[in-house]
Protein backbone atom coordinates (compact mmCIF):
# COMPACT_ATOMS: atom_id res chain seq x y z
CA UNK A 1 0.00 0.00 0.00
CA UNK A 2 2.74 2.50 0.84
CA UNK A 3 4.71 1.76 -2.34
CA UNK A 4 1.67 1.64 -4.64
CA UNK A 5 2.23 3.48 -7.91
CA UNK A 6 -0.92 5.02 -9.44
CA UNK A 7 -1.65 4.58 -13.14
CA UNK A 8 -2.38 8.27 -13.69
CA UNK A 9 -2.46 11.60 -11.81
CA UNK A 10 -6.16 11.48 -10.99
CA UNK A 11 -5.93 8.01 -9.49
CA UNK A 12 -2.89 9.12 -7.50
CA UNK A 13 -4.74 12.08 -6.00
CA UNK A 14 -7.66 9.91 -4.90
CA UNK A 15 -5.47 7.17 -3.46
CA UNK A 16 -3.39 9.62 -1.44
CA UNK A 17 -6.46 11.08 0.22
CA UNK A 18 -8.21 7.74 0.58
CA UNK A 19 -5.37 5.96 2.37
CA UNK A 20 -3.91 8.83 4.40
CA UNK A 21 -5.34 7.74 7.75
CA UNK A 22 -4.15 4.16 7.26
CA UNK A 23 -0.68 5.40 6.30
CA UNK A 24 -0.59 7.46 9.51
CA UNK A 25 -1.59 4.40 11.53
CA UNK A 26 1.10 2.27 9.89
CA UNK A 27 3.74 4.95 10.42
CA UNK A 28 2.82 5.21 14.11
CA UNK A 29 2.88 1.43 14.53
CA UNK A 30 6.35 1.30 12.96
CA UNK A 31 7.57 4.17 15.16
CA UNK A 32 6.28 2.34 18.23
CA UNK A 33 8.19 -0.79 17.19
CA UNK A 34 11.53 0.92 16.59
CA UNK A 35 11.30 3.18 19.65
CA UNK A 36 10.27 0.42 22.06
CA UNK A 37 12.63 0.33 25.06
CA UNK A 38 14.28 3.59 23.98
CA UNK A 39 14.60 6.33 26.60
CA UNK A 40 12.50 9.44 26.09
CA UNK A 41 14.03 12.70 24.90
CA UNK A 42 13.67 14.08 28.43
CA UNK A 43 15.56 11.12 29.88
CA UNK A 44 18.34 11.47 27.32
CA UNK A 45 18.74 15.18 27.91
CA UNK A 46 18.66 14.82 31.69
CA UNK A 47 21.60 12.42 31.72
CA UNK A 48 25.27 13.32 31.59
CA UNK A 49 26.64 14.52 28.27
CA UNK A 50 29.08 12.24 26.49
CA UNK A 51 31.77 13.18 24.06
CA UNK A 52 32.03 11.59 20.62
CA UNK A 53 34.67 9.03 21.64
CA UNK A 54 32.47 7.72 24.45
CA UNK A 55 29.53 7.34 22.08
CA UNK A 56 31.65 5.61 19.43
CA UNK A 57 32.96 3.18 22.07
CA UNK A 58 29.43 2.22 23.09
CA UNK A 59 28.38 1.53 19.49
CA UNK A 60 31.53 -0.39 18.58
CA UNK A 61 31.02 -2.98 21.35
Q: Is residue 2 part of a domain?
A: no
Q: Is residue 36 part of a domain?
A: yes
Helix, strand, coil percent content, the chain, rounded in steps of 5: 65, 0, 35
Domain, as residue range, for 34:
9-60
Cβ(19)–Cβ(1) under 8 Å? yes
Q: How many domains does the chain have?
A: 1
Which pLDDT belongs to residue 57?
Answer: 79
Q: Is residue 52 part of a domain?
A: yes
Q: Is residue 30 part of a domain?
A: yes
Q: Is residue 37 part of a domain?
A: yes
The residue ranges of the chain whose pLDDT is under 70 are 1-4, 6, 11-16, 61
Amino acid sequence: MLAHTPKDKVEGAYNRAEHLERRKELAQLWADVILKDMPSAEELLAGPRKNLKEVQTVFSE
